[in-house]
C-alpha cells in the first residue's frame, strides 16, 4: 500500500501582507478586542472620576528696563545681540533664595494630608460629597536625625480643641493654640476644622526637598520674545494653598528686586560721592594751570586752527571715555572673544589712532600754542567727565529715594476655578486608544505565534489526504461543562443526541469517504489515532461508529487507550471490566462486550488501568481479539492513544487494515502530523489520511471544505425532511437520495 505522503515540496509562504486575513483575524477576535478595550476604558473612567483634581494658579510680572546711566543706556541700544532682560530674572525666580524664603514663610516643610483609604479613598470621598477636614499648623518640627529622610506623624482629632500625635515610638496629646514640644517634636496647631476622629498625615521634609517640590510645580515662561512679561503658573491639589504659594513667590521676588536695586544704587552713589571731589579738584587744578600760563604769557589766545584741533581732541577724548563705560558694561555680558567686544576694541584702536594724528598736528604748532592747547584739553575733558558724574549722582539720588525696582506685579496670583488635570475626555479617549492598541497587538502576537493547521490545504500541500473536516459543534459546546470543555472531553454521544448537527453531517461525509478508502484494505479494522492528546480522536471514532451503525451495519468499538481512555464516561459504562481484562486472560470477550443504547453498536471499554499497557497490546490475545472481531462484525473501530505520546498506536496499527489520524484545528501543526506519519511508517504502518477536527468558521480564512455548504445542507434537511448523503469529494457536494 502506498504511503499517504507524497514527495511534494511545501510551497514557501508569501511575504506579502494579506490585508483581508488581518481584517478577518480582527473580526474573529472581536470579543477579545472589545473585552480588553472595555477593561481599559473602565480603568480610564475610574481614573478620571477618582483621580485627585489638579488646579492651577497664575500670575503676571513685568520686568522693566533697568534705570541706569543715561550714557550707558544710549550705548546699550547700539549693542548687537543684547541679552534678554527676562532670562536672568526667570533664573532668579527659580532660585533657592526666592523659593527658600517662600518655604520658610509658609512652613512648607510640613506637608499635611488627610488620611483616606489607599488608592481610591480620596476620590470616593470627593464623589460622595464629603468635605475634607482642615487644620492649620504654622509651626512644625520633627527631629529625624537626618535631613534626607522624611518622617511622618499621624495627628488625630480628639475634640474641638484637642488632638493626639502618634509617631515612631511616641504618642503625645496637645491643645489648639498651645505649642507642644516633647520627644523631638515641636508643633503648633492654631485652627481645627475637622470632625472628631479625623486623621491627618503630617510629613516633615528637608528644606531642600521642599524647594525641589516647589520647583517641580512652578513654571515661569517669557510671554513673547524680549517683552519682559513673565507668566508664572503653579499647580497643586489645594486651590487655596497654591494661590498663597504663588503670591508669596511673587512678593518675595518683588521685595528682593527692590532691595537689590536700592543696594546697587547706594553702592554706586557711595562711589560717586568719593570720586566727585577728586574730579572737581583735578578740574580746578587744570583751570589754575591754564590761567597761570596765560598770565605768564600775557593772555595768549588760541588760533582758529588750534581751537579746531582742540575741539577734535576733546571729542576724541570724550569718545574714548564713553568707550571705557561701554567696555565696563559689555564685559559683564560677553567674553573678549565675542564679536561685540572685538568691535569695541577695534573702535578704540581707531580713536587712539585719530588721537595720535591730532597729537602730531599739535606738535607742529608753536610751543606756546602747544602748551595752551594741552592745558585747555585737560580743562575741557575734566569738565565733561565732571558733568557726567554729577548727572549720574543726581539720577542715583532720585532712584535711591524712590526704590521701586524694575519689577511690577501686573496680575496677582489667582487660582482658576476649574481643574487643569485630569482632562476626563482626554483620559477616556486615551484609555480607548490604549485598549485598542493592546488588544490588537495581543491579537497580532497570538496570530504570529500560532502555527496550528488552519485549513485542509495546508495538509494537502504536504501530500496528506484529508478525508473530512469536522466543524465545532455549537450545541455540544453549550451542553458541556467548563472543565470537560477545557479537556476536550464530552459526556454526550452527539450522533444520538443531535443527529442534525453540522459535526454529525461531516462525520456522515467521512462515512461515505471511508467506504471507498477501505475497499482495498486487508481487513475491516479501522484504527483512529492522532499526534497529540485532546485532538478529538474519541469524539470522531465514537460518533463515526454510531453513524455507521445507524445504517444497519454491525459495528464494534474498542477503546484501546489503556492509560487515559474516557469513552466509558461518554457511553455511560461503569468500566468494571474491559480490554485490559481480556488481554490479561481474566475475562472472556462475550462477557465484556456492551451494547450502546441509541448508538446501536457494541462497545469494549478499556477496563482498569494496567501497569503494563504496551506489553498487553503485544500479547497474542490482542491479535486473536481483533481476528474474532473482524469475522463477527462488519466494521471494527479501534480508538488509540496519540502516537507522539506512546507507542501503543504503532503496535495496534500492525493489525489494522486502515489507519486515520485526527488533527485538531489550530492546535496541531502540520509538522506534528508529518512527524506522526513518519513515526508510523518507521514501524510499517501506512496512514491512509487525516481528519481535521474542531474547525471553526473564521473571517480570516475561507473554509472550503463545506462549512457553508453544511449550513445549507441542514436547511435542506429541515425543509424536505429527507436524509441527505454526502458523496466523496473535496467540495462536499451533497445530493439528495430519494427513497
Q: For the segment 294-343, what is each residue's pLDDT rounded down to a tens digit?
A: 677 655 566 666 667 767 777 777 777 777 767 776 776 677 778 878 78
How far, in Å, CA of 726 to CA of 29, rounded? 32
The predicted pLDDT at position 176 comes to: 86
Q: For the segment 344-369, what is each residue's pLDDT rounded down to a tens digit?
A: 888 888 888 887 777 777 666 666 66
**Distance between alpha carbon 246 and the CA centroid of its chain, in Å?**
32
Single out the residue of 561, 569, 538 nearest to residue 616, CA to CA.
561
The predicted pLDDT at position 386 comes to: 79
How far, in Å, CA of 99 to CA of 103, rounded? 6
Q: Which residue has the cell 532682560?
A: 85
Q: Which residue has the cell 529622610?
A: 149
How far, in Å, CA of 151 to CA of 149, rounded? 6
Half-sphere CA count of 421, side-chain side, radius 13 A: 10
The predicted pLDDT at position 208 comes to: 92
Half-sphere CA count of 55, side-chain side, radius 13 A: 18
Q: Is 664 exposed, middle or buried (0-12, 13-18, 19+ CB in 10 A)?
A: buried
Inter-residue contact 658 to 522 (CB < 8 Å): no
The predicted pLDDT at position 83 comes to: 47
How far, in Å, CA of 478 to CA of 480, rounded? 6
685: which DSSP letter?
P
Which cell numbers hold the place of 625? Answer: 481479539
Which cell numbers hold the place of 153? Answer: 506623624
3 state SS of 475: helix
Edge-to-edge, what's the strand order for the sheet holding 110-114? Answer: 110-114, 199-204, 151-157, 162-167, 170-175
Spans of the chain below 50 pLDDT: 1-15, 67-83, 703-739
Which cell numbers hold the place of 322? Answer: 564713553
134: which DSSP letter?
E
How far, in Å, CA of 173 to CA of 159, rounded? 11
How far, in Å, CA of 275 to CA of 392, rounded? 12
The predicted pLDDT at position 701 comes to: 61
Q: What is the largest CA-CA distance in the chain?
A: 165
The predicted pLDDT at position 220 comes to: 92
Amino acid at each position: 500500500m502506498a504511503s499517504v505522503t507524497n514527495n511534494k515540496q511545501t510551497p514557501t509562504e508569501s511575504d506579502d501582507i494579506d490585508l483581508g486575513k488581518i481584517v478577518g483575524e480582527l473580526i474573529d477576535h472581536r470579543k477579545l478586542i472589545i473585552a480588553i478595550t472595555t477593561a481599559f476604558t473602565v480603568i480610564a473612567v475610574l481614573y478620571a472620576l477618582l483621580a485627585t483634581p489638579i488646579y492651577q494658579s497664575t500670575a503676571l510680572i513685568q520686568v522693566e528696563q533697568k534705570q541706569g546711566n543715561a550714557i550707558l543706556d544710549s550705548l546699550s541700544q547700539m549693542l548687537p545681540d543684547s541679552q534678554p532682560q527676562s532670562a536672568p530674572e526667570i533664573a532668579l525666580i527659580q532660585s533657592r533664595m526666592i523659593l527658600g524664603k517662600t518655604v520658610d514663610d509658609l512652613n512648607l516643610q510640613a506637608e499635611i494630608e488627610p488620611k483616606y483609604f489607599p488608592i481610591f479613598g480620596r476620590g470616593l470621598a470627593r464623589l460622595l460629597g464629603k468635605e475634607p477636614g482642615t487644620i492649620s499648623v504654622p509651626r512644625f518640627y520633627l527631629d529625624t536625625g537626618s535631613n534626607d529622610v522624611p518622617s511622618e506623624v499621624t495627628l488625630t482629632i480628639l475634640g474641638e480643641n484637642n488632638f493626639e500625635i502618634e509617631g515612631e515610638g511616641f504618642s503625645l496629646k496637645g491643645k489648639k493654640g498651645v505649642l507642644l514640644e516633647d520627644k523631638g517634636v515641636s508643633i503648633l496647631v492654631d485652627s481645627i476644622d475637622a470632625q472628631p476622629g479625623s486623621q491627618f498625615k503630617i510629613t516633615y521634609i528637608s528644606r531642600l526637598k521642599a524647594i525641589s517640590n516647589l520647583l517641580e510645580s512652578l513654571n515661569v515662561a517669557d510671554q513673547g520674545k524680549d517683552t519682559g512679561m513673565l507668566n508664572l503658573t503653579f499647580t497643586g491639589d489645594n486651590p487655596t494653598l497654591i494661590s498663597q504659594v504663588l503670591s508669596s513667590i511673587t512678593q518675595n521676588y518683588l521685595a528682593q528686586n527692590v532691595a537689590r536695586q536700592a543696594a546697587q544704587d547706594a553702592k554706586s552713589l557711595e562711589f560717586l560721592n568719593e570720586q566727585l571731589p577728586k574730579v572737581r579738584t583735578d578740574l580746578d587744578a587744570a583751570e589754575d594751570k591754564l590761567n597761570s600760563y596765560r598770565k605768564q604769557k600775557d593772555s595768549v589766545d588760541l588760533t582758529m586752527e588750534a581751537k579746531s584741533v582742540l575741539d577734535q581732541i576733546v571729542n576724541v577724548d570724550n569718545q574714548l571715555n564713553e568707550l571705557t563705560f561701554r567696555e565696563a558694561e559689555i564685559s559683564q555680558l560677553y567674553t573678549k572673544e565675542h564679536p561685540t567686544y572685538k568691535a569695541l576694541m577695534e573702535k578704540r584702536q581707531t580713536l587712539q589712532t585719530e588721537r595720535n594724528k591730532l597729537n602730531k598736528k599739535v606738535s607742529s604748532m608753536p610751543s606756546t600754542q602747544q602748551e595752551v592747547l594741552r592745558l585747555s584739553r585737560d580743562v575741557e575733558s575734566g569738565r565733561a567727565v565732571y558733568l557726567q558724574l554729577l548727572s549720574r549722582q543726581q539720577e542715583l539720588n532720585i532712584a535711591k529715594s524712590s526704590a521701586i525696582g524694575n519689577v511690577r506685579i501686573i496680575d496677582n496670583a489667582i487660582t482658576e476655578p476649574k481643574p487643569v488635570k485630569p482632562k476626563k475626555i482626554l483620559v477616556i479617549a486615551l484609555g480607548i486608544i490604549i485598549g485598542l492598541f493592546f488588544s490588537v497587538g495581543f491579537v497580532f502576537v497570538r496570530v504570529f505565534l500560532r502555527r496550528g493547521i488552519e485549513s485542509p490545504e495546508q495538509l494537502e500541500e504536504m501530500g496528506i489526504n484529508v478525508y473530512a473536516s469536522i466543524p465545532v459543534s455549537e450545541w455540544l459546546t453549550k451542553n458541556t461543562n467548563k472543565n470537560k470543555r477545557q479537556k476536550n472531553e464530552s459526556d454526550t454521544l452527539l450522533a444520538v443526541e443531535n443527529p442534525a448537527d453540522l459535526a454529525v453531517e461531516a462525520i456522515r461525509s467521512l462515512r461515505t469517504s471511508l467506504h471507498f478508502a477501505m475497499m482495498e484494505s486487508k481487513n475491516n479494522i479501522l484504527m483512529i489515532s492522532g499526534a497529540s492528546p485532546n485532538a478529538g480522536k474519541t469524539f470522531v471514532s465514537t460518533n463515526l461508529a454510531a453513524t455507521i451503525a445507524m445504517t444497519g451495519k454491525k459495528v464494534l468499538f474498542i477503546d484501546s487507550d489503556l492509560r487515559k481512555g474516557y469513552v466509558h464516561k461518554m457511553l455511560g459504562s461503569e468500566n468494571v471490566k474491559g480490554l485490559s481484562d481480556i488481554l490479561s486472560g481474566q475475562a472472556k470477550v462475550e462477557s465484556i462486550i456492551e451494547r450502546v443504547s441509541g448508538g446501536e453498536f457494541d462497545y469494549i471499554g478499556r477496563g482498569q488501568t494496567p501497569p503494563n499497557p504496551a506489553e498487553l497490546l503485544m500479547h497474542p490475545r490482542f491479535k486473536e481479539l481483533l481476528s474474532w472481531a473482524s469475522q463477527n462484525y462488519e466494521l471494527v473501530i479501534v480508538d488509540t492513544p496519540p502516537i507522539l505520546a506512546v507507542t501503543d498506536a504503532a503496535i495496534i496499527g500492525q493489525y489494522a487494515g486502515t489507519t486515520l489520524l485526527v488533527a485538531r484545528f489550530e492546535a496541531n501543526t502540520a509538522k506534528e502530523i508529518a512527524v506522526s506519519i513518519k513515526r508510523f511508517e518507521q514501524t510499517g504502518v501506512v496512514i491512509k489520511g487525516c481528519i481535521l477536527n474542531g474547525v471553526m468558521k473564521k473571517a480570516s480564512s475561507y473554509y472550503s471544505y463545506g462549512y457553508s455548504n453544511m449550513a445549507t445542507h441542514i436547511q435542506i434537511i429541515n425543509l424536505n425532511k429527507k436524509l441527505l448523503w454526502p458523496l466523496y469529494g473535496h467540495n462536499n457536494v451533497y445530493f439528495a437520495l430519494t427513497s
